[in-house]
Amino acid sequence: MLKVHKNSSRGAADHGWLQSNHSFSFGQFYNPEEMGFGPLLVINEDRVQPAKGFGTHGHNDMEIISYVLSGALEHKDSIGTGSVIRYGDVQRMSAGTGVRHSEFNHSSTERVHFLQIWIEPNVKGIAPSYEEKHFDTASKVGNLRLIASSDGKDGSVLIHQDARIYAAILGESDQVEHTLATGRTGYVHVIRGQVDVNGVALKTGDALKITDESLVEFTNAHAVELLLFDLPY
């Protein structure tokens, strides 16, 4: 079964310093039909004004992944990690028993644009931890590049859930496919551009929920960047 989640149905928030779109219910945005997809609970597309950001706040028992689209995102946390990530960088923070952190736009002149993804872990009460990796553009062109997994395969960041996240940059000549094992679901989020997924036309900000299908096929791509989540039921 294929179910489209259109960009126009995402939640939208404008706080002045922050413009955000929510794929699933988050904050003041509530849609009973969009409460997550399996362990995938949050995909927020955030644009933060120069020198602004999220002050210190806490999380526990959550896998939090940041995927920067442009600009520079500065991170500091209570376990002693401090870094600045840019396009191509993927950051993973396992909140575990509890961590406090802040996220700010590192630039005083340019906005930072990024996706923040929350995945519910399959183990609770672990020690908080942090990891970041860089995935160059070439590795994603015409290819589904594994960027997060439960075992750190192929240099991906390690997440505490039986889930895999792939990133791809596809053009008109690219035809890519991915096999979903029995008992798995797929979720495609289009970051930018347009593409057909199993024959369904998707554009920037659209998503596709995939259940009871064994194959995910990407065709008719036009300057598209996307994420594919391979998830347990």
Q: Is residue 2 part of a domain?
A: no
Q: Quick one: 146 and 226 in the same domain?
A: yes
What is the pLDDT, as a whole number, of residue 110?
97
Q: Quick one: 93 and 196 in the same domain?
A: no
- What tens digit of pLDDT does each residue of 60-84 get? 999 999 999 999 999 999 999 999 9
List, in order, residues 6 or more apart from 104 with CB less than 8 Å away: 48, 51, 52, 53, 54, 73, 74
What is the pLDDT, as a whole number, of residue 233?
86
Of 135, 154, 188, which closes a domain? 135
> 46 is written with which tokens?
């955030």
Q: Is residue 122 part of a domain?
A: yes
Q: Quick one: 190 and 225 in the same domain?
A: yes
**Is residue 88 packed enough to be buried (19+ CB in 10 Å), middle (13-18) or exposed (0-12)?**
middle
> 210 is written with which tokens?
């995939």
Q: Quick one: 75 and 158 in the same domain?
A: no
Q: Quick one: 117 and 142 in the same domain?
A: no
Q: Quick one: 113 and 172 in the same domain?
A: no
184 within 8 A of 232, measured Cβ to Cβ? yes
Q: Quick one: 45 and 117 in the same domain?
A: yes
Q: Quick one: 18 and 116 in the same domain?
A: yes
For a pLDDT cut of 90, what percent of the chain falls above it? 98
132 within 8 A of 85, measured Cβ to Cβ? yes
| Cα gap 75→134, rounded to integer Å | 16
For 137, phi then psi, to 5°, come to -60, -40
> 122 is written with which tokens?
């399959």
Q: How many domains does the chain have?
A: 2
For position 172, which CATH number holds? 2.60.120.10
- What tens digit of pLDDT does each residue of 119-157 get? 999 999 999 999 999 999 999 999 999 999 999 999 999
Q: Quick one: 216 and 103 in the same domain?
A: no
| Cα gap 104→57, rounded to integer Å | 12
- What tens digit of pLDDT does each residue of 93-125 get? 999 999 999 999 999 999 999 999 999 999 999
> Is residue 169 over pLDDT 90?
yes
Provide the domain limits for residue 146: 138-232
Q: Is residue 4 part of a domain?
A: no
Q: Give the β-pairing of 2-5 and 82-85.
A: unpaired
Q: Quick one: 174 and 185 in the same domain?
A: yes
Q: Is residue 5 part of a domain?
A: no
Q: Is residue 147 part of a domain?
A: yes
For a pLDDT cut of 70, what percent of the chain falls above it? 100
- Helix or strand or coil: residue 64? strand
Q: Quick one: 71 and 38 in the same domain?
A: yes
Q: Quick one: 125 and 168 in the same domain?
A: no
| Cα gap 135→156, rounded to integer Å | 9
